[in-house]
C-alpha cells in the first residue's frame, strides 16, 4: 500500500525498502510541505510513471532489484531529477550513478536536514536568473533596461554599481565571493580589488536606503548576497 499525503507542493517519489529510514525521510519531507509517495519494493517502483513526480529519491540497494536498473528505466522516458541513496561510499558507484543519469548522491548516514537541503537545491528554480525584471523585497532590478527601482522610485547607480546588483540578483539567496564579483564586474587593471568592491557595495546601500539595504547582506568570510527575507538584526 503506497503512502500518499494530501499536501500541496512538489510531488516527490521515495523508493526505499527500509521501514525506519523511509518513515523518517517521508516525515521530514512532509514537514517541508512536499507531497510524498513512498514505494517500498522494486516491483512497485518499476510500475510508476516518472512523469508524475518533480523529484525521485532512489535507494540503490533494494532487495531483488538494483537501483541502477530502475534509474535506467526512468531515464528512458523522463528527465526528472533523481537523488540516489546508498550506504556505499565507493566513488566508482557514484560515477556510474551519474553516467546513468542520476543528478545527486547521498550516502548513509545522513542528517534529514542534509537530504532536505539537497531536495530543495534540486527543486529550486534554475540558478541563473535572466528574467527581464527581478524583484527582491522593495527592490526591482531590470537587467534589460539597466534600471533599478526601490518602492517604484528609480535609483541612480553607476555602471559598476548596477552590475554588482545584477550579478547578485542572478542568484538570489546564494552568496558570491568577493573574488567572483570582482572578476565579473570590475576591470581588474583599472578599477581594482576586493577593497574597491566593498566601497561600491557600501555606496549601493546608501543609495537604496536602509530598508532595501537590509536585503544586501554581507556574508562573513565570503562576500555578499541578496536575500528575499533579511535577517533581523539584534
Partner 1 sequence: MGLRLRVVVMLVVLVVPVTVAFSSWRVGAERRVRQERAAERAAERALARPRVLQRCLQDPEAFAINRRNLRARAVIDAGDAARLSGPNPPALDPALWARFATSGEGIAHQWSWRGDRAGASIVRVGDGDGPCAVFWVGWPDTSPRLAAATRRSILLEALALLLLLVATGAIIAAPLVRRIRRLTEVVVADPLHAISDHDAAARELRTGDEIGALARALEARTTQVKETIAELQARDQTLKEYISNTTHDLAIPLTVLQHRLMGLKDATSRGEAADVEVIERALEESHYIAALIANMSAAAKLDAGRAHTTRHPVNLGELVERVAARHQPIAAQKDVEINWAAPDDLIVLGDSTLIEQAVSNLVQNAIQYHGGGGHVAIVADHADGGRFELRVLDDGPGVDEATLPRLTERGVRADASRTRNPGGQGFGLSIALRVFDAHAWRFDMTSPPGEGLTNIITGPAQPPGSLAGQAAT
Nearest distance, CB of residue 117 and partner 1, angstroms: 4
Among 205, 198, 203, 196, which residue's Cα sits nearest to residue 230? 205
The number of angstroms, rounded, from the C-alpha of 75 to the middle of its chain's C-alpha atoms is 22
Report the nearest approach of partner 1 to the CB of residue 135 (Å).
23
Q: Which is nearer to partner 1, 3 or 217 (CB)?
A: 217
Q: Tell me the CA end-to-end span of the chain in Å, nearest whole number.
A: 50
| Grid cell digits, residue 71 | 534509474
What's the min distance (Å) between Cβ of 231 and partner 1?
Answer: 10
Nearer to partner 1, 2 or 180 (CB): 180
Using CB under 8 A, list all residues that contact partner 1: 89-92, 94-95, 98, 104-105, 109-111, 113-114, 117-118, 121, 127-128, 174-177, 179-180, 183, 219-223
Q: Which is nearer to partner 1, 120 or 202 (CB)?
A: 120
Q: State yes or no: cis peptide before 109, omega within 30 of 0.
A: yes
Quick one: cell of 176? 558570491
Closest distance of CB 174 from partner 1, Å: 7
Alpha-carbon gap, residue 233 to 196, rounded angstroms:
26
- For residues 66 and 179, which CB has a smaller minimum distance to partner 1 in the complex? 179
* 34: exposed, middle or buried (Cβ count in 10 Å: 0-12, 13-18, 19+): buried
How far is Cα 214 from Cα 23, in angstroms, rounded to an integer?
40
**Residue with smaller CB distance to partner 1, 203 or 225:** 225
Shortest Cβ distance from residue 77 to partner 1 (Å)? 20
In angstroms, rounded to a whole number, what is the distance separating the alpha carbons of residues 126 and 58? 22
Question: Smallest distance, Å, CB 186 to partner 1?
Answer: 14
Cβ-based nearer residue to partner 1, 41 or 177: 177
Beta-carbon count within 10 A of 73 CB: 15
Rounded Cα distance between 163 and 167, Å, is 6
To partner 1, the closest distance from the beta carbon of 221 in angstroms equals: 3
Choose between 22 and 223: whose C-beta lies nearer to partner 1: 223
SS3 56: strand
Amino acid at each position: 500500500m503506497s503512502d500518499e499525503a494530501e499536501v500541496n507542493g512538489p510531488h516527490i517519489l521515495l523508493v526505499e525498502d527500509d521501514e525506519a529510514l523511509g518513515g523518517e525521510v517521508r516525515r521530514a519531507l512532509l514537514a517541508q510541505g512536499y507531497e510524498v509517495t513512498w514505494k517500498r519494493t522494486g516491483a512497485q517502483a518499476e510500475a510508476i510513471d516518472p512523469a508524475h513526480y518533480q523529484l525521485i529519491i532512489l535507494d540503490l540497494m533494494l532487495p531483488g532489484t538494483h537501483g541502477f536498473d530502475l534509474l535506467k528505466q526512468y531515464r528512458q522516458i523522463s528527465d526528472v531529477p533523481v537523488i540516489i541513496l546508498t550506504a556505499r561510499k565507493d566513488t566508482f558507484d557514484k560515477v556510474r550513478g551519474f553516467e546513468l543519469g542520476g543528478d545527486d548522491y547521498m550516502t548513509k548516514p545522513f542528517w534529514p536536514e542534509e537530504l532536505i537541503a539537497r531536495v530543495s537545491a534540486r527543486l529550486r528554480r534554475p540558478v541563473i536568473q535572466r528574467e527581464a525584471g527581478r524583484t527582491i523585497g522593495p527592490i526591482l532590478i531590470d537587467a534589460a533596461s539597466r534600471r533599478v527601482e526601490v518602492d517604484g522610485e528609480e535609483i541612480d547607480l553607476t555602471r559598476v554599481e548596477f552590475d554588482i546588483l545584477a550579478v547578485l540578483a542572478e542568484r538570489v539567496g546564494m552568496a558570491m565571493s568577493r573574488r567572483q564579483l570582482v572578476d565579473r564586474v570590475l576591470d581588474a587593471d583599472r578599477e581594482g580589488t576586493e577593497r574597491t568592491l566593498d566601497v561600491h557595495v557600501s555606496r549601493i546601500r546608501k543609495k537604496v536606503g536602509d530598508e532595501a539595504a537590509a536585503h544586501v547582506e554581507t556574508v562573513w568570510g565570503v562576500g555578499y548576497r541578496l536575500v528575499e527575507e533579511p535577517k533581523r538584526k539584534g
